[in-house]
Amino acid sequence: MLAVKATFDGERIVLPADMGHVPPGNVIVIFEDGVESADKAGWMRGQEAAFAAAWDNADDEIYDTM
């Protein structure tokens, strides 16, 4: 899986120029609306807590030394 920032020109999704090496395949598109709502901020806080629970543990400490 690869995540890249792209733009939508009104008709097409425009990827960065250096994406020519990526083979054709399925994609997931998420549109950012540019509006920070209270609901969106709540979801982001919930995601932060989930990531913290997944990454802050004894098994993951090995990566802290890299």
Flag whether 58 is in a domain: yes
What was the pLDDT predicted at 3?
Answer: 81
Flag whether 2 is in a domain: no
Flag whether 1 is in a domain: no
Highest mean pLDDT: which range of 7-11, 28-32, 58-62: 7-11
Per-residue confidence band for 65, with pLDDT thresholds at 50, 70 and 90: confident
Domain count, the chain: 1
Instruction: Output the average pLDDT for the chain.
Output: 80
* Domain membership of residue 56 as a residue range: 7-65
Flag whether 17 is in a domain: yes
Q: How many whole angstroms separate alpha carbon 54 and alpha carbon 49?
A: 9
**Cβ–Cβ < 8 Å for 5, 13:** no
Which candidate, 6, 45, 51, places its Cα nearest to that of 29? 6
Given a cut of 80, whether residue 16 has pLDDT beyond it is yes
Flag whether 13 is in a domain: yes
% of the chain exceeding 70 in pLDDT:
95
pTM: 0.42
